[in-house]
Structure 1
Amino acid sequence: MYSVVSLFAGIGGICLGFKQAGFKIIWANEKDHSACLTYRHNFGNDYLIEGDIRNISEAHIPHADILAAGFPCQSFSAAGAGRGFSDPRGTLFFEVIRVAKAIQPRIVFLENVENLMEHDNGRTFQTIYSSLVELGYIIRYQAMATHEYANIPQTRRRIYIVAFADLELSDRFRFPEPIPLTSGAMECLKLDERKPDIYYYSEDTPFDRYIRDSVKDRRYIYRIFNGSARKLTNSKCPTLTASMSTPRNAAVLRDDFGVRRLTLRESLKFQGFPAEFYFPNTIKIHDAYKQIGNSVSVPVIRRIAEEIRKTL
């Protein structure tokens, strides 16, 4: 069985995709304590190391076939500050390079926001590309959307980088082909089932009244961003982001009982997590939403991992 070391593991979306494709996760690292609680709740505590990767010696990281990393994307996001490598979070990419240099995996797998390719007029992506090339890797990359590659109606586009230490492996590898989307976002939801009160905009505040008045069409999900409501007429769920941890930045709909946010379970479903995956009862709802938004669309990861396994 091929082995994986996972950096910036979050709640384990990348790990889960690789596990579903038949890989074994032998070591994973995550800094955020709340995310670690969720990870351990679903995967156990056999190999997750909690702490800042910058404080972990590469001597303590095992060799593996795959090094996987969904390194922090906020610095490169079009919706974020966009500070790139001038943001301490942006420089965490170089921890990936440090670990890759030490453990020499056959393949490095990276996931990030699509805007990574355009950030700083392409110079950021060129730095990432060159850093991998200098270690001897051959780079393959592709932007892929969840609704095109996972049969899940979420408009989430990300860039996936697969770097090979061997030219023959690189030549054999193919990214998965698009697959048809067979359902719209509202078909994935139950409008006749009342959810817990915490999800509804029911308070008598100007903001809650504005949301209730704005979200009228039951056929679509609305995106609430910075307190403003916009209807998504493409029958898809908007990109789930870490900022949806607040009601002012959320995916919202009208059901038989009022106007509400997507529930945690519905949000996990739009990221392709299985029904048995959930949060421990020690996690605050704010943190749970943030963790979902910071995660990945699991079926996209699984499909790429399956192609990597075929290549190996």
Structure 2
Amino acid sequence: MHLQPATLLKQARTRYTQRELARHIGKDIRTLRRWETGQTPCPDMLGPALQLLLFPSGTAKQSENNRFRFIDLFAGIGGIRSGFETHGGQCVFTSEWNDFSKKTYLENFADLHPFAGDITRMDADEIPDHDVLLAGFPCQPFSIAGVSKKNALGKPHGFECTTQGTLFFDVARIIARKRPAAFLLENVKNLLSHDKGNTFKVILQTLRDELGYEVHYKVIDGQHFTPQHRERIVIVGFRENSGFSWDSLQLPAQGPRLGSILHATDGSEPVLEWDGNRFFDHEKQRIQPKYTLTPNLWAYLQAYAQKHRAAGNGFGFGLVSKDSVTRTLSARYYKDGSEILVSQGGRKRPRRLTPRECARLMGFPDTFRIPVSDTQAYRQFGNSVVVPVMQEVARIMAPHVLEILEQDAGGRAISLPLFA
């Protein structure tokens, strides 16, 4: 699917400045600004020029083994997508409202399909037909930290949170209209117990009773695949009776330890062209000093932990070594890194994980590029999914998706949506 010049221009502006684009297409900045604001229509010549800049290979990132189409809602930086591409999926539509996440996403996935921002403003008819709907819908209204924060501020949470909690119903209206063969929804474990279980009860009633899908759910801990204790609920649904079972999920009994994802200081750390020396000094074979906590911050965290220990609370920092499994990486990691502080031995102050180590902790390969600031990168990885978990779920879902598609091709009637 080839995009219109205006759409390509919007994508290009997430990666390049107006000055860089003007130089590339041979126009002045004022002309580019008029195109961008809609004051002057984008000319046809702009399309090929921007397409060559954004997608030098000339094609989207596709595989000859594409077996089903999926859409990626609340896409973040593409963690769920990565899992489903591994098992034959082709992404045909993406939605992500955060500009920084969008920048990282587009840097790693060369897409020639529509990329939307606010999904709440899109008519379901505008979304391409697809076989699988993927959605890591926002978890803040349901997470323990999110609920505590909203309670402290006297704000509503869950489905009463109009800005995020009700986004589940946008997922539901798209499922109702497009009737994909299957879906996968991902959220925090606390979704199960939020509002004494009523929130999850509404979600299941919507998916099963109103939409008519066969629904299965399971809490999966990412530490089976990466050295991080990260429990998330995965909800999968199928339009037809599928025979799907979580019993075929293969979860290694012993996952890796932290040392497997830390920068190697013995000379074996790979040199990544896109990272350079940003996170690791290859000449001195050491992590960049900026990731070591300052004396003031380290003193503050120790005093804070001591205060809560004296009060009988469990709050404090999480000091880890190479043999550890970490706490859950959060989107607030950029603030002080307190949940995962890497010991550097002796009297040396501990350090934060680098963004590259955070990427590895979430299961992203080293080919994954990090084009944003450290602060934004920490937020993005803290909000992401453990990629190998998604790969394993995609592996056991794919055969059932393909079976439903074969039934469709054979002329079997598709049930009408009940959700209005």
TM-score, length-normalised on structure 2? 0.66
The equivalent position to 1:267 in structure 2, one of 354, 358, 366, is: 358
Aligned partner of residue 229 in structure 1, secondary structure = coil
The equivalent position to 1:138 in structure 2, one of 214, 237, 245, is: 214
> Is residue 106 of structure 1 aligned with residue 181 of structure 2?
yes
The CA distance in 1 between the partners of 2:137 and 2:221, in whole Å, is 18
> Is residue 26 of structure 1 aligned with residue 101 of structure 2?
no
Contact 2:79 2:385 in 1 (8 A): yes
The equivalent position to 1:197 in structure 2, one of 289, 293, 296, is: 289
Give the match for residue 367 of structure 2: 276
Aligned partner of residue 177 in structure 2, secondary structure = helix
TM-score, length-normalised on structure 1? 0.87
Change (3 A) 1:240 1:48: farther
Give the match for residue 317 of structure 2: 229
The CA distance in 2 between the partners of 1:28 and 1:124, in whole Å, is 26
After superposition, where does 1:131-210 map in structure 2 within 5 Å?
131-133=206-208, 134-148=210-224, 150=225, 152-167=226-241, 169=242, 171-174=243-246, 175-190=248-263, 192=265, 193-202=285-294, 204-205=295-296, 207-210=297-300
Give the match for residue 47 of structure 2: none
The CA distance in 2 between the partners of 1:198 and 1:20, in whole Å, is 35
Aligned partner of residue 44 in structure 1, secondary structure = coil
Shift, 1:307, TM fit = 0.7
Give the match for residue 218 of structure 1: none
After superposition, where does 1:76-91 map in structure 2 within 5 Å?
76-81=142-147, 83-87=157-161, 88-91=163-166
Contact 2:293 2:350 in 1 (8 A): yes
Give the match for residue 127 of structure 2: 61
Work out which structure has the larger RCO, using CA pairs closer than 8 Å and 6 or more positions apart in sequence: 1
Q: Which deviates more, 239-248 or 69-78?
A: 239-248
Query: Which segments of 5 or more consecutive residues in structure 1 lack a partner in the other structure?
Result: 216-225
Give the match for residue 141 of structure 2: 75
The CA distance in 2 between the partners of 1:112 and 1:3, in whole Å, is 22
Contact 2:319 2:343 in 1 (8 A): no
Contact 2:318 2:339 in 1 (8 A): no
Give the match for residue 238 of structure 1: 327
The CA distance in 1 between the partners of 2:330 and 2:255, in whole Å, is 24
Give the match for residue 202 of structure 2: 127
> Is residue 288 of structure 1 aligned with residue 373 of structure 2?
no
Query: Which segments of 5 or more consecutive residues in structure 2 lack a partner in the other structure?
Result: 1-66, 149-156, 266-284, 306-313, 403-420
Q: Which deviates more, 50-59 or 113-122?
A: 50-59
The CA distance in 2 between the partners of 1:186 and 1:138, in whole Å, is 41
The CA distance in 2 between the partners of 1:212 and 1:259, in whole Å, is 11
Aligned partner of residue 236 in structure 1, secondary structure = coil
Aligned CA-pair RMSD: 2.4
Q: Which deviates more, 110-119 or 183-192?
A: 183-192
Q: For each residue in 1:40-63, what CA deviation from the matched residue of structure 2 results, as whole angstroms up to 9, or x when unmatched? A: 000024225141111112121011
The CA distance in 2 between the partners of 1:279 and 1:227, in whole Å, is 31
Give the letter aligned to residue 194 of structure 1: R
> Is residue 302 of structure 1 aligned with residue 377 of structure 2?
no
The CA distance in 2 between the partners of 1:48 and 1:277, in whole Å, is 22
Aligned partner of residue 350 in structure 2, secondary structure = strand
